[in-house]
């Protein structure tokens, strides 16, 4: 029962969603809308639960006194401040917005901006033309990097002005970038999209038919 | 010497990167920016819309991508408000809610747009594809009230907008793969026109959709934002930042070249 | 309040940048505070913008008799509540019920839409340029076509080669030997160009984030001092 009923539910809801999308009949569309409604009602619970599990993780960290466990209290302070203001007064409350704009937003933006430093350092240390494939990657990256910024065209135009084709081949840096994106990049991405999509479809069929059951987790 | 150069403390690279940003920020320059076709296509599409028609602007990003996507959002909003095109703002990404609301308010104040008449902000709803599909039938079935808790039937602008049939274009500003969800569900099921403004990380994967016409236009990262600001003839942060970006890109290219020269010389010596 | 906000934001920004020197308590403080506030923000938004409009309002409507049909909504609400069984190790298996429904709905929705958006449309996009070329040839007045026309043919052929070779690289049902090996090698070359362009664009994105923060520190924060 613990495994069979969820498998049956998954099958039923999957098949109903699949079939009702192909039928314009009002009854079928009614069922389709109602199932979508049900899923919409269930989704917020999943979202709230997933955030609560993060709380559990930090409670466990404190209990087990793992490394830097003291900082988990700061996590609770952060959650408490937002929830105490946000739940009763709503996210439109000026205090909630102030906290978001002056505390959460700068930290979030800064955290990801650190990657600019690491990407530069990694490019210097590890971006090597060791073989043909790596060279292709490197050359393309350099062309795209230069094509993305105005200085790329500036350098190109200065260089091409030394030749008789300065008019014909003006702004070549951004043109090359665009050509790469429009042609070989597009082909590679399309290959990936086709491969991934076939995978998504086959996996979805396996899940609906109950062949793929990993989402049920372990245990009986 | 060469080994020293290759094994240079990474903090020196960090300092160089910081300087490449700080110095041009203090002494800004302005270089000519060429406009790419995907950006121009989106601009032309919105420019060709009739006065009073509506678009949907979706803030599917958070603070971690605001540097790239906020300038785009502002430029599109400015264009719409100036052309009297109604804008329905919303997000499928929780953390984009406050930002979306603030940004729309800010640009509306600047351009004298009125809430409820020229634009609305519906806020966030969870369940990506469920929300996209639901709005295709009836927006009010998903957003009975706007973000500020006003029933949407009380908003004058929304009296003419029931579902995607009254929306000329959805512009998804995304930092993740939500644009693909808009394509899969709004474009496929409802034939809705979609355009996107995306972060650098996902620009490349949008091109197959652009070629098929599933995306009618694309703004690519901060470079695209700068192009759009130039198209609306209102250069702002996007233009300033892409000029500064030039120096950092040059530095990184230079670092890659130095690193490779050192690598090849070292390899030759070892041989 | 605005002045205080700018200073707090600047302090936290610098706390995070201190990590560039080395890991330290200031960075850890900001990191954990960031996690906490993000979770808090998520809870508030999920509650106000998800739970209340999607679950509570229909529930209330059902109980106040506004819409008796709304009583049926009690079923998905009950199923949704089963997520919280995950908090008890004895009853955690009950979480499979709502998960199974959401996964079933997701799969049912994915199959036809992914098929149309990502397989049919992408295949059409791959072959369509040839029909454009064909109609161009049919409509040719001048015997010598333009350079753009040759560019169109080159692009179309390149795309078909690229897509087939990339797909071959991912096709593991046949051993990559002989001609298949070479085709898949060409596929790798296309993939490398694709990843190279992604890297170049990613650099642009990450650097933009840094520029925005430096802009904040130099213009907003320093501007508030001087």
pLDDT score of C69? 67
C170 → chain A, closest CA residue: A195
Weakest mean pLDDT among A144-158, B134-148, B196-210, C172-186: C172-186
Contacts of C77 in chain A (CB under 8 A): 41
Best residue in B62, B179, B246 to probe A by mutation, most A CBs within 10 Å? B246
The C-alpha torsion from A183 through A184 and A186 to A190, rounded to 10°, is 140
Q: In angstroms, rounded to a whole number, what is the distance separating the alpha carbons of residues B98 and A187?
A: 38
Say if B174 is an interface residue toward chain C (CB within 8 Å): no
The reply to whether residue B248 touches residue A120, judged by beta carbons under 8 angstroms, is: yes
Closest CA to A109 of B63, B254, B102: B63
The reply to whether residue C49 touches residue B124, judged by beta carbons under 8 angstroms, is: yes
**Would you give the distance in Å from CA C117 to the centre of its chain?**
16
Contacts of A55 in chain C (CB under 8 A): 39
pLDDT score of C143? 55
DSSP class per residue in chain A: -TTHHHHHHHHHHHHHHHHHTT---HHHHHHHHHHHHHHHHHHHHHHHHHHHHHHHHHHHHHHHT-TTGGGHHHHHHHHHHHHHHHHHH-TTSHHHHHHIIIIIHHHHHHHHHHHHHHHHHHHHHH----SHHHHHHHHHHHHHHHHHSHHHHHHHHHHHTTSTTTTTTTTHHHHHHHHHHHTHHHHHHHHHHHHHHHHHHHHHHHHHTTS--GGG-S--
Phi, psi of C97 (to 5 degrees): -65, -60
B180 → chain A, closest CA residue: A193
User: What is the pLDDT of chain B when averaged over all its residues?
Assistant: 95
Query: What pLDDT, in 10s, does the model give residues B128-178?
Result: 999 999 999 999 999 999 999 999 999 999 999 999 999 999 999 999 889
Q: In angstroms, rounded to a whole number, what is the distance separating the alpha carbons of residues B160 and B157?
A: 6
Contacts of A154 in chain B (CB under 8 A): 31-32
Say if C174 is an interface residue toward chain A (CB within 8 Å): no
Contacts of A75 in chain C (CB under 8 A): 32-33, 35-36, 39
Nearest to B246 among A106, A112, A150 (CB): A150
Say if B3 is an interface residue toward chain A (CB within 8 Å): no
- Chains contacting chain C through 3 or more C-beta pairs under 8 A: A, B
In whole angstroms, how far apart are CA B68 and each of A80, B174, C81? 31, 10, 39
Closest CA to A119 of C194, C45, B17, C50: B17
Say if C127 is an interface residue toward chain B (CB within 8 Å): no
Contacts of B101 in chain A (CB under 8 A): 92
Query: What pLDDT, in 10s, does the model give residues A13-28?
Result: 999 999 998 888 889 8
C156 → chain B, closest CA residue: B211
Q: In angstroms, rounded to a whole number, what is the distance separating the alpha carbons of residues C175 and C166?
A: 15
* pLDDT above 60: residue A93: yes
pTM (predicted TM-score): 0.93
Neighbours of C84 (CB within 10 A): 16
Say if C146 is an interface residue toward chain B (CB within 8 Å): no
Mean pLDDT of B211-228: 97
CA angle C29, C23, A60 (to 5 degrees): 55
The reply to whether residue C169 touches residue A90, judged by beta carbons under 8 angstroms, is: no
Interface of C with B in 157-216 (CB under 8 A): 194, 197-198, 201-215
Best residue in A34, A49, A77, A215 to probe C by mutation, most C CBs within 10 Å? A49
The reply to whether residue B243 touches residue A124, judged by beta carbons under 8 angstroms, is: no
Contacts of B92 in chain A (CB under 8 A): none
Nearest to C32 among A3, A72, A198 (CB): A72
ipTM: 0.94
Query: What pLDDT, in 10s, does the model give residues B60-70?
Result: 999 999 999 99
Q: In angstroms, rounded to a whole number, what is the distance separating the alpha carbons of residues C58 and B218?
A: 39
Say if B242 is an interface residue toward chain A (CB within 8 Å): yes
The two beta strands, B167-174 and B119-124, are unpaired
Query: What pLDDT, in 10s, does the model give residues A176-193?
Result: 999 999 999 999 999 999
Q: Is B102 within 8 Å of B74 (Cβ atoms)?
A: no
A85 → chain C, closest CA residue: C44
pLDDT score of A96? 96
Give pLDDT tens digits along chain C (226 positions). 788 999 999 999 999 999 999 999 999 999 999 999 999 999 999 999 998 998 888 878 777 766 666 678 888 989 999 999 988 888 888 999 999 999 999 999 999 999 999 999 999 999 998 888 887 777 665 555 677 788 888 999 999 999 999 999 988 888 888 889 999 999 999 999 999 999 999 999 999 999 999 999 999 999 888 7
DSSP class per residue in C44-64: HHHIIIIIIIIIIHHHHHHHT
Mean pLDDT of B242-260: 95
């Amino acid at each position: 029962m613990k495994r069979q009923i969820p498998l049956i539910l998954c099958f039923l809801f999957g098949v109903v969603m699949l079939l009702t999308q192909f039928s314009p009949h009002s009854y079928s569309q009614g069922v389709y809308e109602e199932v979508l409604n049900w899923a919409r009602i269930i989704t917020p619970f999943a979202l709230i639960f997933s955030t609560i599990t993060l709380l559990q993780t930090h409670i466990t960290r404190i209990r087990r006194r793992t490394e830097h466990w003291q900082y988990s209290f700061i996590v609770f302070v952060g959650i408490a401040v937002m929830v105490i203001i946000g739940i009763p007064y709503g996210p439109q409350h000026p205090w909630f917005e102030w906290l978001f704009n002056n505390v959460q937003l700068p930290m979030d933006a800064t955290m990801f901006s650190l990657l600019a430093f690491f990407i530069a350092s990694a490019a210097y240390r590890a971006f090597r033309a060791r073989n043909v494939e790596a060279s292709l990657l490197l050359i393309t990256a350099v062309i795209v990097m230069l094509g993305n910024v105005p200085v790329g065209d500036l350098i190109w135009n200065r260089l091409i002005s030394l030749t008789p084709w300065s008019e014909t081949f003006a702004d070549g840096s951004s043109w090359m970038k665009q050509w790469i994106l429009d042609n070989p990049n597009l082909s590679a991405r399309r290959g990936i999209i086709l491969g991934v999509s076939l995978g998504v479809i086959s996996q979805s069929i396996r899940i609906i038919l109950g062949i793929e059951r990993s989402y049920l987790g372990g245990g009986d | 010497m060469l080994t020293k150069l290759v094994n240079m403390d990474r903090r020196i690279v960090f300092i160089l990167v910081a300087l490449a940003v700080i110095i041009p920020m203090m002494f800004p320059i302005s270089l000519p920016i060429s406009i790419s076709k995907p950006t121009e296509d989106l601009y032309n599409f919105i420019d060709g819309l009739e006065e009073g028609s509506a678009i949907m602007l979706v803030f599917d990003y958070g603070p971690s991508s605001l540097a790239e996507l906020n300038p785009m959002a502002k430029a599109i909003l400015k264009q719409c408000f100036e052309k009297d095109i109604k804008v329905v703002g919303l997000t499928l990404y929780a953390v984009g809610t406050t930002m979306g609301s603030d940004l729309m308010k800010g640009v509306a104040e600047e351009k004298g747009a009125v809430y409820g008449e020229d634009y609305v902000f519906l806020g966030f709803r969870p369940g990506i594809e469920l929300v996209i599909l639901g709005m295709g039938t009836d927006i009010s079935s998903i957003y009975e009230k706007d973000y500020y808790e006003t029933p949407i039937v009380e908003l004058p602008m929304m009296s003419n907008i029931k579902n995607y049939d009254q929306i000329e274009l959805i512009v998804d500003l995304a930092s993740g793969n939500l644009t693909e969800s808009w394509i899969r569900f709004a474009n496929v099921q409802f034939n809705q026109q979609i355009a996107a403004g995306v972060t650098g990380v996902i620009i490349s994967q949008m091109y197959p959709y652009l070629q098929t016409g599933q995306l009618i236009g694309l703004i690519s990262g901060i470079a695209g934002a700068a192009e759009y600001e130039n198209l609306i003839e209102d250069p702002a942060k996007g233009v300033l930042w892409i000029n500064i970006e030039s120096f950092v890109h040059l530095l990184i290219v230079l670092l890659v070249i130095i690193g490779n020269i050192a690598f090849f010389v070292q390899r030759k010596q070892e041989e | 309040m605005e002045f205080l906000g700018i200073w707090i934001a600047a302090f936290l920004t610098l706390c995070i940048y201190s990590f560039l020197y080395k890991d330290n308590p200031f960075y850890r403080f900001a990191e954990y505070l960031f996690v906490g506030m993000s979770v808090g923000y998520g809870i508030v938004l999920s509650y106000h913008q998800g739970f209340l409009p999607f679950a509570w309002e229909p529930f209330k409507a059902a109980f106040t008799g506004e819409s008796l049909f709304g009583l049926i909504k009690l079923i998905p609400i009950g199923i949704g509540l089963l997520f919280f069984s995950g908090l008890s190790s004895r009853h955690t298996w009950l979480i499979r019920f709502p998960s199974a429904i959401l996964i079933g709905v997701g799969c049912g929705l994915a199959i036809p839409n992914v098929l149309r958006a990502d397989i049919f449309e992408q295949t059409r996009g791959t072959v369509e340029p040839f029909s454009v070329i064909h109609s161009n040839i049919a409509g040719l007045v001048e015997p010598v076509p333009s350079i753009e026309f040759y560019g169109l043919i080159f692009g179309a052929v390149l795309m078909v080669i690229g897509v087939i070779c990339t797909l071959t690289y991912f096709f593991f049902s046949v051993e990559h030997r002989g001609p298949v090996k070479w085709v898949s090698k060409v596929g790798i070359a296309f993939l490398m160009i694709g990843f190279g362009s992604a890297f170049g664009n990613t650099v642009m994105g990450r650097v933009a984030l840094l520029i925005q923060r430096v802009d904040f520190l130099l213009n907003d924060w320093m501007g508030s001092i001087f």
